[in-house]
Structure 1
Amino acid sequence: MYFFMRLVLKAVRLRKMALGSVILIFILGSASIAYWLEPSTFQTWFNALYWVLTTMATVGYGDFFAKTVIGKLFTIFLYIFGIGLLSVVIGKIIDSVADIQRKKEAGQLKFQGKDHIIIINWSKKAQYAVEEILSYSPAPSIVLIDESDRHPLAHQDQVHFISGDPSLQDVLERAKLKEARAAIIFADARIDEPALVDGKTLLIASSIERFAPNIHTTVEITQDQHVQNFQHVKVNEFVLSHDAISRLAVRAALQQGNSEVFNQLLSRQHGDDIYEIPVKQEWKTYGDAFQDLLLRGATLISDRGDLGINRKLTTAIPSDARLYAVADEETFLSLTGKSK
């Protein structure tokens, strides 16, 4: 018994590849020995292999069994050592699955997908962003990068967590930044000094620009005087933290009720949404596009940031136009020929 316990302990300490090799050699060797001991019982080596596996797995169908004394002694040997080794393998598999889960929650696993959205710095705003992204159908995968040591949304399978400094290249590589659709950098809510918050955001944006310059990057800025610094590192879009909230609060106070309109347009979860509409060849002017979309249940509102195109209905649509309209999802899908 002491010898058996020492053998099991040594097997437990073996690396996965070494243990797998030992198990494979043990099974193939046992099958060869069983066939050598009782060739008339098993008839073929494969039948002996089948018997060894069913014996080690404690299934024991009874279609093959040892008939000689030495064959039965070998069966006892398989009971003692074979089943023990298989138990070690099962334990290793369970440990491996648990280890993968621990690494996933600790943010140590590399993301394996592509065309995902990267969110940097966890906060309540980041949580709202995750919820908004997941409201899309189909929802893209999300990779969250934060310096905390535990997944803040461990229950959400569509959010892959990576722990580390988002300004470091190896962390961005683990997030598969070069294969991402976009990156959103939120201000670090754990830093009290606004200048330091924007400084950290600028450092992260610079790292992204250096490592993956083609990625569409959106950043949250706490002070408007820092906007030009972010333009210098070619950030695609930026949002001023307090600016939008303050303006919305003033509009709600002076023009009661219009905050509901903004809330609907800001979220896909309520009412209609703003969609980019592909320009059709038959549309020559903004008026053509406006009338056609109106008949289909959508309202044309802008070409990029130009909200005054309803006063330019006779103006020809430029070749680089990007038209946006307000519509529900069903109307948008019918306009683009897509399906859910």
Structure 2
Amino acid sequence: MTNHLYMRFIRLPILARILMIAAVMIFLFGSLIHYIEPKSFPTIFDGVWWAIITASTVGYGDFYPVSVAGRVTGMILLLVGTGFLSSYFIHLSAATVNKQNAYSEGRVGFKGNGHIIIIGWNERSRTILRSLIKTESLILVDDTLGSNPIKDDNVHFIRGRANKDETLLNAGISTAKKVIITSDQNLDELQADMNTILTLLAIKGLNPDIRCIAEIQTSEQINNARRAGADELIPTNALTSAVLLNSISSPEVVSPLLDLLGELNGKHLSYIEAEASLINKDFPEASSFLQRERKIILIGIKRGDNVIVSPLNNIKIKYDDQLLAISND
């Protein structure tokens, strides 16, 4: 039985062990001084109070021993008890510093829920973090950073490879609401896409229901990324090429496009279903109705695989159409 208790004591954290030894020692010396000098220390509580004040070297002077035996007890307490209390506070300070360092270096797992996981550190992820930092709880996952690059309580850093289960579990993948995977710019395009696909497989294996938005660079890997579980893909190179081509034919296209993207901050550009009240209405009429009733700006119509932006007046909205619109919802 004694050996069992000893083994349980040994397994306790060192802070807990030092605190327990110090507390027992304070109580013993407080009780001892009460029995040695009952007049100077009327109760055990008075003795314990004196032992704490003496061991901590504060020394209020409200209680003090007057006999030789009492003073010898106080000397032993100072020699032994002070060491344990000092060790406790030293270890407590060291543990606090180590915990803070571990948190900054990405070695502490996240325990919350409803957060957004952003994988990869680059200019795109920096912009995303800066945009969402006020409204969302964010987890940054990266294996190249030595510490958290953004010092904010809403950004928790996890260091590690995002295609490893341990890293994803530390990032709280099971309780997250969304994952954004940015392409690794340190790899060539094919390797970066393969790394993205491997990360998608790892994420969906741990949480099949989580929404994944992934950046992809090569068009050849788009289908593989969808098979791996991407809910939405951002073809970076295709978007860049489209902007460059349009800038050649329309020299002023870049600034308006950037202005439009800036205005979309906080709004939603998405496809909405054509409700019954819009069926058989022409585009301008439907646009006026949505703007007046629901504060939605109608841009175009998706009919099958074709997207028609600002269609002609003679095109009427059909039941299976999807409407490309900007809304505040």
What TM-score does the superposition give when structure 2 sets the normalisation length?
Answer: 0.78
Q: In 2 relative to 1, CA 254–43 (structure 1 residues): closer, same or farther, beyond 3 Å?
A: farther
Aligned partners of 2:157 and 2:135: how far apart in 1? 17
Match of 1:111 in 2: 110
Match of 1:25 in 2: 24
1:121–1:187 contact (8 Å) kept in structure 2: yes
User: What SS class does the counterpart of residue 145 from structure 1 fall into?
Assistant: strand
Q: In 2 relative to 1, CA 210–37 (structure 1 residues): closer, same or farther, beyond 3 Å?
A: same
User: What SS class does the counterpart of residue 40 from structure 2 fall into?
Assistant: helix
Aligned partners of 1:20 and 1:304: how far apart in 2? 69
Q: Between 166-175 and 35-44, report the one with greater CA deviation.
A: 35-44
1:239 maps onto 2:234 in alignment: yes
Which letter does structure 1 place at the counterpart of 2:130? E
State the shift of 1:226 in Å: 0.9
Alignment gaps of 5+ in structure 2: 1-12, 279-285
1:151-230 superposed matches below 5 A: 151-153=147-149, 155-192=151-188, 194-230=189-225
Match of 1:4 in 2: none
Q: In 2 relative to 1, CA 34–299 (structure 1 residues): closer, same or farther, beyond 3 Å?
A: farther
Aligned partners of 1:156 and 1:93: how far apart in 2? 25
User: What SS class does the counterpart of residue 233 from structure 2 fall into?
Assistant: strand
* Aligned-pair Cα RMSD in Å: 3.4
1:275 maps onto 2:274 in alignment: no
Aligned partners of 2:319 and 2:255: how far apart in 1? 31
1:119-138 superposed matches below 5 A: 119-134=118-133, 138=134
What TM-score does the superposition give when structure 1 sets the normalisation length?
Answer: 0.76
2:119–2:182 contact (8 Å) kept in structure 1: yes
Alignment gaps of 5+ in structure 1: 1-13, 327-331
State the shift of 1:67 in Å: 2.7
Q: In 2 relative to 1, CA 293–70 (structure 1 residues): closer, same or farther, beyond 3 Å?
A: same
Q: Which has the larger radius of gyration?
A: 2
1:284–1:317 contact (8 Å) kept in structure 2: no
Which letter does structure 1 place at the counterpart of 2:214? V
Q: In 2 relative to 1, CA 186–68 (structure 1 residues): closer, same or farther, beyond 3 Å?
A: same
Aligned partners of 1:67 and 1:303: how far apart in 2? 96
Aligned partners of 1:34 and 1:307: how far apart in 2? 92
Q: Between 82-91 and 43-52, report the one with greater CA deviation.
A: 43-52
Aligned partners of 1:19 and 1:177: how far apart in 2? 37
Aligned partners of 1:229 and 1:257: how far apart in 2? 36
Deviations for 1:297-320, whole angstroms, at most 9, x for unmatched residues?
x645579997869979986999xx
Q: In 2 relative to 1, CA 244–323 (structure 1 residues): closer, same or farther, beyond 3 Å?
A: closer
Q: Percent identical across equivalent pairs?
A: 22
Aligned partners of 1:203 and 1:312: how far apart in 2? 47
Aligned partners of 1:127 and 1:153: how far apart in 2? 9
Q: In 2 relative to 1, CA 62–237 (structure 1 residues): closer, same or farther, beyond 3 Å?
A: same
Deviations for 1:6-58, whole angstroms, at most 9, x for unmatched residues?
xxxxxxxx933322221221122222222222222232222222222222223
2:15–2:92 contact (8 Å) kept in structure 1: no
State the shift of 1:63 in Å: 2.2
Match of 2:14 in 1: 15
2:106–2:148 contact (8 Å) kept in structure 1: no
Which letter does structure 2 place at the counterpart of 1:275? H
Deviations for 1:251-277, whole angstroms, at most 9, x for unmatched residues?
34544544334324434xx68642389
1:264–1:273 contact (8 Å) kept in structure 2: no
Aligned partners of 1:38 and 1:257: how far apart in 2? 94
Aligned partners of 1:238 and 1:204: how far apart in 2? 14
Aligned partners of 1:37 and 1:250: how far apart in 2? 95
Which letter does structure 1 place at the counterpart of 2:220? Q
User: What SS class does the counterpart of residue 143 from structure 1 fall into?
Assistant: strand
User: What SS class does the counterpart of residue 40 from structure 1 fall into?
Assistant: coil
